[in-house]
């Protein structure tokens, strides 16, 4: 039996009737079975592609990407996912000098979506705004489809908002599943999602939020560590706590990197900005207070500089389980002595984990493709089987 057929049989046992035609905002909107389905389809699509079997669902159609922030890897992951399924990519590059107004979003949403099957949006610049932008956009498409403006209702893939970064967190977790030899081996594993020092300012909170919101669902012991004053969205902490309770794991917050690293199986040290500062920043942007923004940046950089000891050094790594925890990062990392003087991680640590780090990233195109697949294909198990049976070669000759 092929790997794809095995995965299809697993897929058939899942309750996923609610995925068809649904958007993907946050992992915690989805049931355990639905997340399982995404991992399963991602693995199946990868298996088919490795065997040079076409995974086209669409013979034409567009995937629209909207990046309200710079991005190379997510941009290419989205493009790769669209290509895998047969969609052409068209980028909408918006200059984001200010927060978008509802009516403009509504109009843009319809104007770019006439032939669109998928919309990928990254908008993580302003806390309280990123998710709102995506929601406004997709509500406008609901209306556009109902009223006959659009021939089809495109599906959303959240490529990062102010709350969650689901394609990142899901790719990260699929990497962990493969590293640990199966989802059943995650129970009881300790994960340290910790803040780390970076010489830059204002990195998004969606990665730590996405990680604790997702990893807490698999019976793991999730520890969130950061210096005082670097709190993340309290709503997401609550979700992590509930998830942990339900899955038989735990969720804990500490203000010590050492404590988090102690005996950890997995470490994810990464810089982010304090939630309260980001809230203030949004208000300053709304008010157009340029001087206030510059002042805030200065304060935050000074605050950051007090925590240069929060770094993933060789010493810190020795504290982890057998000194060999799986080091993770969403990339690009601030590497001490390489990309900056002092940063999130020692060069020697980073260098040792380069192959797993790139593998971690390599799951993202498949995760995105699986999200699209499950939202656009009515009977995903049959479709995967039909693809395998069809056996059309991706590369001829």
Instruction: Measure the CA–CA gap between 227 and 197, rounded to whole angstroms.
Output: 10
Burial class (CB in 10 A: 0-12, 13-18, 19+), 88: middle
Does residue 341 sit in helix, strand or coil?
coil
Cis before 332? omega within 30 = yes
Based on CB atoms, which residue is closest to a copy of itself, 114 or 287? Answer: 114
Instruction: Measure the CA–CA gap between 282 and 82, rounded to whole angstroms.
Output: 32
Residue 49: CB minimum distance to a copy of itself, A: 5
The 326-327 sheet, strands edge to edge: 250-254, 221-225, 190-195, 266-270, 326-327
Instruction: Measure the CA–CA gap between 73 and 55, rounded to whole angstroms.
Output: 22
DSSP codes joined into one string, 67-136: ESS--SHHHHHHHHHHHHHT-EEEEE----SSPPPHHHHHHHHHHT-TTEEEEEEE--SSTTTHHHHHHH
Choose among 397, 377, 395: nearest CA to 386. Answer: 377
Residue 164: CB minimum distance to a copy of itself, A: 21
Residue 23: CB minimum distance to a copy of itself, A: 18
Based on CB atoms, which residue is closest to a copy of itself, 88 or 231? Answer: 88
Residue 47: CB minimum distance to a copy of itself, A: 10
Residue 152: CB minimum distance to a copy of itself, A: 8
Based on CB atoms, which residue is closest to a copy of itself, 27 or 55? Answer: 55
Based on CB atoms, which residue is closest to a copy of itself, 69 or 143? Answer: 143
Residue 224: CB minimum distance to a copy of itself, A: 27
Does residue 389 sit in helix, strand or coil?
helix
Instruction: Measure the CA–CA gap between 91 and 83, rounded to whole angstroms.
Output: 14
Does residue 64 sit in helix, strand or coil?
strand
Distances (CA, A) of 271 to 8, 86, 207, 341, 364: 39, 36, 10, 15, 21
Based on CB atoms, which residue is closest to a copy of itself, 303 or 339? Answer: 339
Based on CB atoms, which residue is closest to a copy of itself, 280 or 352? Answer: 352
The upper half-sphere exposure of residue 100, i.e. CA atoms within 13 Å in the direction of its Cβ, equals 25
Residue 231: CB minimum distance to a copy of itself, A: 30
Based on CB atoms, which residue is closest to a copy of itself, 155 or 247? Answer: 155
Residue 20: CB minimum distance to a copy of itself, A: 11
The phi, psi pair for 345, rounded to 5°, reads -155, 145
Q: Do residues 119 and 155 touch, judged by C-beta distance below 8 A?
A: yes
Based on CB atoms, which residue is closest to a copy of itself, 196 or 232? Answer: 196
Based on CB atoms, which residue is closest to a copy of itself, 150 or 223? Answer: 150
Residue 287: CB minimum distance to a copy of itself, A: 19
Based on CB atoms, which residue is closest to a copy of itself, 96 or 338? Answer: 338
Based on CB atoms, which residue is closest to a copy of itself, 9 or 72? Answer: 72
Report, in angstroms and rounded to the nearest whole number, the Rg of the chain calculated over CA atoms: 21
Show Cβ contacts of residue 51 under 8 Å, excluding neighbours closer than 6 positions. none
Residue 42: CB minimum distance to a copy of itself, A: 12
Residue 149: CB minimum distance to a copy of itself, A: 4
What the block records as the tokens of 91 is: 């980028």
Interaction site with a copy of itself (CB under 8 A): 46, 49-50, 54-62, 72-73, 76-77, 79-80, 83-84, 86, 88-90, 92, 101, 103-104, 106-108, 110-112, 114-115, 117, 143-144, 147-151, 331-332, 335, 338-339, 354-355, 358-359, 361-362, 364-365, 376-379, 382-383, 386, 392-397
């Amino acid at each position: 039996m092929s790997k794809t057929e095995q995965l299809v049989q697993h897929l058939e046992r899942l309750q996923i009737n609610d995925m068809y035609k649904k958007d993907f905002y946050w992992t915690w909107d989805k049931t355990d079975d639905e997340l399982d389905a995404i991992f399963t389809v991602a693995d199946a699509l990868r298996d088919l592609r490795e065997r040079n079997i076409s995974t086209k669902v669409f013979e034409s159609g567009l995937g629209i990407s909207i990046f309200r922030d710079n991005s190379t890897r997510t941009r290419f992951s989205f493009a790769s996912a669209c290509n895998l399924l047969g969609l052409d990519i068209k980028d909408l590059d918006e200059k984001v000098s200010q927060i978008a107004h509802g009516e403009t979003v509504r109009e843009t949403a319809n104007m770019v979506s006439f032939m669109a099957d998928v919309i990928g949006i990254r908008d993580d610049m302003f806390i309280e705004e990123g998710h709102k932008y995506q929601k406004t956009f997709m509500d406008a498409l609901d209306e556009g489809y109902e009223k006959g403006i659009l021939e089809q209702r495109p599906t959303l893939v959240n490529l990062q908002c102010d709350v969650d970064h689901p394609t990142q967190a899901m790719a990260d977790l699929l990497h962990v599943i493969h590293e640990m030899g199966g989802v059943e081996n995650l129970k009881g594993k300790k994960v340290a999602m910790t803040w780390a020092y970076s010489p830059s300012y204002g990195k998004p909170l969606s990665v730590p939020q996405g990680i604790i919101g997702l990893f807490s669902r698999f019976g793991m012991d999730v520890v969130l560590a950061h210096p005082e004053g670097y709190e993340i969205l309290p709503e997401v902490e609550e979700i992590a706590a509930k998830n942990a309770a339900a899955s038989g794991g735990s969720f804990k917050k500490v203000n010590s990197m050492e404590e988090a690293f102690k005996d950890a199986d997995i470490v994810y040290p990464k810089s982010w900005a304090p939630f309260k500062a980001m809230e203030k920043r949004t208000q300053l942007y709304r008010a157009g207070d340029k001087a206030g923004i510059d002042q805030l940046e200065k304060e935050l950089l000074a605050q950051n500089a007090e925590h240069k000891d929060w770094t993933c050094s060789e010493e810190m790594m020795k504290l982890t389980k057998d000194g060999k925890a799986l080091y993770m990062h969403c990339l690009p990392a601030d590497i001490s002595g390489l990309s900056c003087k002092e940063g999130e991680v020692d060069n020697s640590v980073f260098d040792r984990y380069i192959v797993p780090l790139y593998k971690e990233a390599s799951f993202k195109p498949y995760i995105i493709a699986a999200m699209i697949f499950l939202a656009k294909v009515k009977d995903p198990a049959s479709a995967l089987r039909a693809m395998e049976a069809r056996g059309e070669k991706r590369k001829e000759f």
